[in-house]
Structure 1
């Protein structure tokens, strides 16, 4: 069973990767300092998206990292189904 993932920017500025159908704890939390935000040429949500995609790619290519079967194939889902949200 596939579940959709979404990147959500929280009111405190943290960006979380979570399953869209789950109110549980996020899979990943990314926090950027105010200083790092000043150097970004693109919105923090786009930087977080690139970070998540790079992490999934590296993890899927490394034979030393065990990936749950459920996570396999979600790299493609992340490209096509991650919705960007800002929650206020």
Structure 2
């Protein structure tokens, strides 16, 4: 079961059973594949705008050892769907 859903199983069941339209992007096996690295962020984001610079800075300072290191950027999947739903196709 997803980490966030496990935190309050009754609330999770309520949300999924209440009948409102819902987009669920699973963490493992979907969002877990959204991985970035400092070199990738520096190439695509550094110097583009203040938000990009901030993202590079916080990821760069996430760990002291960046050799062969990458970071899952979990919440980006939700933003990606909001920007373009075709990026996160449903079943």
TM-score normalized by structure 2?
0.26
Structure number having the greater strand percentage: 1
Bigger Rg over Cα: 2
